[in-house]
């Protein structure tokens, strides 16, 4: 997995300045378009273009099962992960509708779903194992499995690059993965579980307390091993979360902007940025999830979420919606007249 330490590309300071100068002479009061102005300037610097554009979008959904589901931390049985893969491939999920709306290329990758080796036409099969281990008892994955899962994310970004995509969106599916993400965030941020654990798939107050107890047990059990971002990911993570980490890092390495989705995806971004701090420049945050821990993760990332719609679906739904905001920022930057052009 040495590739994850390869250099992250630097945004162009010249294009950042040029875009800032253009924003200053467009027919509007300075700063009146708020975050849309910042988005346009950032994209110009990242894409090294006078006029940024996001015509071609790529969405990768990574799916995997979690051994921690054995602890009863989800409102749904583990079989739902596999069932949702069928729904994605049949075009019936929320992300299918949003990908169609955005004319985005959508792919679905099996990184570790149980009993999912055949019968799914169109599914990209890169299974590391049939789910992670129960991390209250042992490491969620081996070092070799972590390496494989990171590579799955890198491979998805390489496919996006071959298709000449302008922006990458990663999504996830995996019953019990909010428990994994909460545990990861607790370990990275050094916060107790009661600050970060939420309803996930819709568990009640008793279920939330159970998730908190499970996570606290795991944090105590692995305390000596939780000493680096990669070790934390290995001991507490999921294959789909590791794939997102790999994807985000590789986007920064090849120079492809990213829209990060909700709590789970943002936790993956938190790990990725802790591995590669310069990656932060390449990440846009689609929305603030209703999930309890997301605000803490966003604060640690110094992130500005573009939307807040009380969503907590995952599967890249919030990021796909936010793509419209980024595209609007590009359109405004390109098409608005300057004061001189408008004769004002």
Catalytic residues: 315
- Among residues 11, 102, 43, which one has the least CA distance to residue 333? 43
Give residues with Cβ within 8 angstroms of 100, minimum separation 6: none
Measured in degrees and rounded to the nearest 5, phi and psi for residue 25 equal -115, 5
57-64: strand order across its sheet: 124-125, 105-112, 57-64, 167-173, 258-260, 283-287, 305-307
Rounded distance, CA 156 to CA 146, Å?
16
Closest CA to 184 of 231, 129, 243: 231
Spatial contact of 283 and 273, defined as CB atoms under 8 Å apart: yes
251-282 residues labelled b (16+ CB within 10 A) or e (exposed): bbbbebbbbbbbbbbbbbbbbbbbbbeebebb
Instruction: State the Cα–Cα distance between residues 141 and 150, nearest whole angstrom.
Output: 12
Bridge partners (DSSP) of residue 203 are none
Question: What is the distance between the alpha carbons of residues 71 and 183, in angstroms, rounded to a whole number?
Answer: 14
Q: Which two tokens stand for residue 215?
A: 């996570």
Give the list of residues 6+ apart from residue 126 with CB closer than 8 angstroms, or none: 109, 110, 111, 152, 155
Structure tokens at 34: 């708020």
Say if residue 96 is exposed, middle or buried (CB neighbours under 10 Å; 0-12, 13-18, 19+). buried
């Amino acid at each position: 997995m040495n590739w994850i330490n390869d250099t992250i590309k630097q945004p162009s300071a010249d294009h950042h300045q040029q875009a800032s100068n253009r924003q200053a002479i467009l027919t509007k009061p300075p700063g009146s378009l708020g975050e849309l102005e910042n988005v346009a300037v950032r994209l110009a610097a990242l894409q090294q273009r006078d006029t940024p554009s996001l015509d071609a979008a790529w969405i990768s959904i990574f799916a995997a099962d979690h051994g921690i589901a054995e602890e009863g931390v989800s409102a749904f049985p583990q079989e739902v992960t596999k069932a949702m893969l069928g729904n994605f491939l049949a075009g019936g999920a929320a992300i299918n509708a949003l990908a169609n709306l955005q004319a985005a290329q959508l792919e679905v990758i099996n990184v570790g779903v149980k009993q999912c080796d055949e019968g799914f036409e169109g599914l990209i099969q890169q299974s590391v194992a049939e789910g992670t281990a129960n991390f209250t008892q042992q490491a969620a994955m081996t070092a070799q499995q972590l390496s494989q899962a990171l590579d799955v994310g890198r491979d998805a970004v390489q496919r996006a690059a071959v298709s000449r995509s302008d922006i990458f969106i990663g999504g996830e599916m995996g019953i019990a993965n909010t428990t994994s993400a909460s545990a990861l965030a607790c370990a990275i941020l050094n916060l107790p579980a009661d600050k970060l654990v939420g309803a996930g798939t819709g568990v009640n107050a008793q279920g939330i307390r159970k998730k908190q107890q499970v996570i606290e047990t795991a944090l105590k059990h692995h305390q000596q091993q939780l000493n680096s971002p990669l070790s934390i990911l290995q001991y507490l993570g999921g294959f789909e979360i590791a794939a997102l980490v790999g994807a985000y890092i590789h986007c920064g390495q090849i120079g492809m902007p990213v829209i990060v989705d909700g709590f789970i995806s943002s936790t993956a971004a938190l790990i990725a940025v802790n591995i590669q701090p310069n990656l932060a420049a390449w990440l846009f945050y689609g929305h603030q999830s209703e999930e309890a821990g997301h605000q803490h993760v966003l604060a640690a990332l110094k992130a500005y979420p573009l939307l807040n719609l009380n969503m907590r679906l995952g599967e890249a739904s919030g990021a796909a919606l936010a793509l419209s905001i980024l595209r609007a920022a590009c359109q405004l930057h390109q098409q608005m007249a300057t004061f001189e052009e408008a004769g004002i």
